[in-house]
Amino acid sequence: MHKPEPDKFKIPVGPQHPALKEPEGFSVALKGEKIMGLEIRLGYNHRGIEKACEERTYIQDLYLIERVCGICSHSHSTCFVQAVEEIAAVEVPKRALYIRTLIGELERVHSHLLWLGVAGHEIGFDTLLMYAWRDREIVMDLLALITGNRVNYGMNTIGGVRRDISKEQAEEVLKGINILEERTKYYIEIATQETTIIKRLSGVGIISHEDALKLDAVGPTARASGVNRDVRYNDPYAAYGEITFNVITDTHNDVYGRTLVRVKELMESYQIIRQCLKKIPDGPILTKVPRKIPIGEATSRYEAPRGEDVHYVKSNGSEKPERVKIRAPTLANIQAVKHMLKDRFLADMPIVIAAIDPCFSCTDRSVSLENPGDRNKEIMTWHALRTYSIEWYKKQGIDFTELNNNLKNKLERR
């Protein structure tokens, strides 16, 4: 180990660290327990999705973009199709818009519950993690019921949605929402009463109203600093124009405020889901759209669970887009983290980072097939990699050939 300066430690939090769910580098200079400086290195998750989008058709892009992020997959795909539909000037059926809204809100519920659990874990309150994630299963089951998948729902397509929602499903959703509402009330009670939670959250990660505006913070992070900014309200899309709901803001400016905003947003989401199911009109769910999208460009905004998601699409009249730009909410918020951690304690770092609900894979968007450290740029294809591994195991005296053949036979017999 290099000799540390007498009273200053430099701790690497990441690229791999238990506090981070995804690789991202934070280098913290410490004096005792106090944070003296913070350096952020992003980009470990860069997958070159924007470039990849240019080489695929719009329909293929849809599936790729859904995989920008595992948690807010519906947000990204909705944001993208909205932009494409705007360029193609398609009238999307009302029913499809309502279904999009419904899935979007269910996704918000699952994302916020996930966040609540993660936040609990970061402050060492694993019980909250277990409870929140248990309840999250309810909404995951609902999503699986409607879309067939727990994540990456594959609901959106250009011109509408791919699956309709039946009466029985709607009833199931209402039932699930009722249970979740009860549970959420309980969490609000915990968050506002449990002393250790309040002690760990309040006064931590403060970002003032002015700084939040200056640093372009978005979503619950900004709203907890009193910034009344919610794309659903300011720039309504899908069916939000016909639905009444409140924009939750808070003036605590700290992690505690962000927690309150999120749990209260959960309650709002339940209301939105109920309205959706009540107002949803009958009719078709899909308008046919030609494969070739006319020349044009459009910017689409979407309020993802983490904040404003922005997609810009430019088309050149062919089947493939000219340019797709994705700005995920975390990228807008990550710059606020530096501000929040000034003169705070090391112990606050995990929760402060978690409090913006970071999603680094959204932020970075790479399957860098090249080994970046390798100057010779020897590239291994999937096939070569597989052959290499088989050879490697053979050298170790382990032969999988028979096993593979058995497996193949088994699959063929089916």
Per CB under 8 A, contacts with another protein among 158-197 are 194, 196-197
Among 93, 257, 350, 358, binds another protein (CB under 8 A): 350
Q: Which is nearer to another protein, 260 or 280 (CB)?
A: 260
Residues numbered 310 to 339 that lie near another protein (CB under 8 A) are 310, 312, 314, 323, 325, 327, 331-332, 334-336
Q: Which is nearer to another protein, 33 or 171 (CB)?
A: 33
Q: Which is nearer to another protein, 30 or 173 (CB)?
A: 30
Please identify which residue in the block is written with the tokens 């200053």: 8
Among 134, 185, 279, 291, binds another protein (CB under 8 A): 134
Among 295, 369, 403, 407, binds another protein (CB under 8 A): 369
CB of 106 to another protein, least distance (A): 23
Among 108, 121, 136, 258, binds another protein (CB under 8 A): 121
Determine if 6 is a binding residue for another protein (CB under 8 A): no
Q: Which stretch binds another protein (CB under 8 A): 128-136, 146-154, 268-276, 385-393?
A: 128-136
CB of 2 to another protein, least distance (A): 10
What is the amino acid identity at position 287? T
- Give 162's DSSP letter: S
Which phi and psi (to 5°) does residue 312 adopt?
A: -125, 130
Q: Which stretch binds another protein (CB under 8 A): 101-109, 125-133, 243-251, 264-272?
A: 125-133
What span, in angstroms and rounded, lies between the C-alpha atoms of 165 and 155? 11
What is the amino acid identity at position 123? I
Number of residues that bind another protein (CB under 8 A): 82
Q: What is the DSSP string of 84-152?
A: HHHHHT----HHHHHHHHHHHHHHHHHHHHHHHHHHHHHTT-HHHHHHHHHHHHHHHHHHHHHHS-SSS
Residue (of 249, 268, 258) closest to 115 by Cα position: 258
Residues numbered 44 to 63 that lie near another protein (CB under 8 A) are 46, 48, 50-51
Q: Which stretch binds another protein (CB under 8 A): 108-116, 158-166, 263-271, 362-370?
A: 362-370
User: What residues contact residue 352 under an 8 Å CB cut-off, 6+ apart?
Assistant: 204, 205, 255, 337, 340, 341, 344
- Per DSSP, the three-state class of 159 is coil
Residues numbered 76 to 95 that lie near another protein (CB under 8 A) are 86
What span, in angstroms and rounded, lies between the C-alpha atoms of 212 and 317? 40
Answer positive or negative: Cα dihedral of 338, 341, 347, 351: negative
CB of 208 to another protein, least distance (A): 13
Q: Which is nearer to another protein, 6 or 18 (CB)?
A: 18
Radius of gyration of the chain (CA): 23
CB of 206 to another protein, least distance (A): 15
Cis before 15? omega within 30: yes
Q: Which is nearer to another protein, 71 or 313 (CB)?
A: 313
What span, in angstroms and rounded, lies between the C-alpha atoms of 222 and 253? 8
Determine if 235 is a binding residue for another protein (CB under 8 A): yes
Among 381, 396, 401, 409, binds another protein (CB under 8 A): 381
Residues numbered 238 to 297 that lie near another protein (CB under 8 A) are none
- Per DSSP, the three-state class of 366 is coil
User: What residues contact residue 76 under an 8 Å CB cut-off, 6+ apart?
Assistant: 65, 66, 68, 69, 302, 304, 309, 311, 326, 328, 362
Among 59, 295, 379, 385, binds another protein (CB under 8 A): 379
Q: Which is nearer to another protein, 70 or 296 (CB)?
A: 296
Q: Which stretch binds another protein (CB under 8 A): 1-9, 137-145, 171-179, 276-284?
A: 1-9
Q: Which stretch binds another protein (CB under 8 A): 5-13, 72-80, 103-111, 392-400?
A: 5-13
Q: Are 319 and 306 in contact (CB under 8 A)?
A: no
Determine if 209 is a binding residue for another protein (CB under 8 A): no
Among 169, 298, 319, 390, binds another protein (CB under 8 A): 298
Among 192, 208, 234, 387, binds another protein (CB under 8 A): 234
Which phi and psi (to 5°) does residue 411 adopt?
A: -65, -35
What span, in angstroms and rounded, lies between the C-alpha atoms of 412 and 414? 5
Burial letters 384-406, b for 16+ CB under 10 A, else e = eeeeeeeeeeeeeeeeeeeeeee
Residues numbered 90 to 119 that lie near another protein (CB under 8 A) are none
